[in-house]
Homo-oligomer: A and B are copies of this chain.
Amino acid sequence: MPDKSNLISIYDTTLRDGAQREGLSLSLEDKVRIARQLDELGIPFIEGGWPGANPKDVQFFWQLQEEPLQQAELVAFCSTRRPKIAAADEPMFQAILAAGTRWVTIFGKSWDLHVIEGLKTSEDENLAMIGDTIAYLRSQGRRVIYDAEHWFDGYKHNPEYALKTLEAARQAGAEWLVLCDTNGGTLPHEISQVVREVVQATGGTTPVGIHTHNDADTAVANAIAAVMEGATMVQGTINGYGERCGNANLCSVIPNLQLKLGYKCLEDHHLASLTQASRFVSEVANLAPDEHAAFVGRSAFAHKGGIHVSAVERNPLTYEHLQPEKIGNVRRIVISDQAGLSNILAKARSFGMTLDKQHPACRQILQRLKELESQGYQFEAAEASFDLLMRQALGHRQQMFELKGFQIHCDIGVTKNALATVKVAVNGKDILAAAEGNGPVSALDDALRKALVNFYPAIAAFHLTDYKVRILDSGAGTAAKTRVLVESSNGHQRWNTVGVSGNILEASYQAVVEGIEYGLLLESATDLELAGSTVLVQ
């Protein structure tokens, strides 16, 4: 058990290594939202990407220079210089420096085979590449984390050379030496042995970190094994996203280290947001959350059956390995699902609303939430819709317009355009408006804004900034329910709304309508404070 030196630095690479996951594609806006969420979660190091490798990553770092993170260190990632050029002449490094981060992670080759076959250079030149790169970035005022790529395979093959690469990094000023199991096939007992040897060989002069992949289905156990041998940084991703079988899942590593082994990774109140953060990231990434994920999955603390349930309630620790609340998850009784008032109160708190447990609206919100969730609604990434739902229950939701119906017509033989017609009523007066659009949703959005803009001129500035679709119960193909998440903006704020229907157009319509309603609410909230609540906008 660690005591004094029990601090583990968590290093998140969801935005770089996580984004390598096949089928995952994050927009610039997605990356910024995830970075801010991780910052709120109290993750100390957030790797943002490889600036220079693609324009999106360059823009990402620029955007976060303008509006920096609150607490986390944003880290830029890059390889060592190429063979036979001076570090100062390496154009990649200009992009790295322009990213404007205090910390930079440099990865280099540890395995002689990769040096000779991959880089087609000499072992000595590789050592020089590592040393020069780090020394150059240090001379430019950067702090450096060194990621030793293919460490475990390289070390098994040629330990002397592998250790030389670490020594080159250390001497040049790297402040962490991170051992990467790049191919992901190493097992925990091998990780233990190698980390032990490295800690001995480096004599504790420079802290050691661990970066594991899940190809042997032991990434989490591998990270833990390394920490138990003295590693003090863990690199991983939210939900274990990553290339092939993924990276070490921080949603498992963190609670194991902190709640079972006594290490300190996050503040306790941050740890209690872990489940929410996991779901937020999966929503933004547009990936179905893994319901069976350890710690944060919806089924992780689900109990079936009568006797078992009362036993759990009498003495939870005889049937649960830890208390779900510590990571912001909830115990679920599968037959009679009790999502819990405390959940609602916690959500209200997260929107900045103070809601009393005794308030009759609480039960009403709970009831409505259960109905909607059973229909496939999910409010994790649709805070604006949840806010509207709470206002409705509290009697604070104003009806700004009434919906009468809409039509979509789309004729691909004749034109690529879609035609939308909407009918709404404001103050008892019917308004019919029609608009053409590239697709049916933008046509619908235009038609709605046309119909309403004379009554609410602020609408002229509203626009859709993101649109995500998820098919629920995918076994049923297109007959299944569709959930649409819409992000809207008024130019300086953004908010998210949700719609669900068997018909994708109707689900889109619901989300677009709530997006407009919430935008209007924001406009009025700038004049008068609404019902003692502050409005949360990401």
The residues of A with any CB-CB pair to B shorter than 8 Å are 20-23, 25, 27-30, 111, 113-114, 117-118, 150, 153, 183-189, 214-218, 220-222, 224-225, 228, 243-246, 249, 252, 256, 260-261, 286, 288, 291-295, 297, 299-302, 304, 307, 311, 314-315, 318-322, 334, 378, 380-381, 404-414, 416-418, 423, 437-442, 445, 463-471, 473-475, 477-480, 482, 487, 501-506, 509
Contacts and interface: CB of A to CB of B under 8 A. Distances in A.
Which 4 interchain pairs have the tightest Cβ spacing? A185-B321, A405-B413, A464-B477, A221-B221
A186 B311 CA distance: 21
Given A189-B228, A221-B188, A478 B474 contact: no
Given A183-B319, A405-B412, 14 more contacts: A29-B475, A185-B320, A187-B221, A188-B224, A214-B292, A245-B294, A288-B475, A405-B414, A408-B440, A412-B509, A439-B501, A439-B504, A441-B504, A466-B477
A474 B31 CA distance: 12
A440 B504 contact: yes
A188 B479 contact: no
B465 A300 contact: no
Contacts of A468: 469-471
A117 B319 CA distance: 12
A482 B503 CA distance: 17
A311 B117 contact: yes
A291 B246 CA distance: 11
A28 B321 contact: no
Contacts of A293: 217, 245
B294 A216 contact: yes
Most buried by B among A245, A479, A487: A245
A180 B394 CA distance: 43
Contacts of A437: 478-479
Given A185-B321, A475-B29, A438 B117 contact: no
Contact of A22 (B215, B222, B334, B409): B334
B471 A466 contact: yes
Nearest to A307: B118
B292 A245 contact: yes
A40 to B, nearest CB: 22
A464 to B, nearest CB: 3
Given A114-B318, A501-B439, A467 B475 contact: no
Given A30-B474, A470-B25, A471-B467, A224 B215 contact: no
B502 A438 contact: yes
B300 A439 contact: no
Contacts of A471: 466-469
Contact of A479 (B380, B411, B442): B442
B311 A118 contact: yes
A299 B477 contact: no
Given A412-B505, A468-B471, A300 B245 contact: yes
B407 A320 contact: no
A31 to B, nearest CB: 11
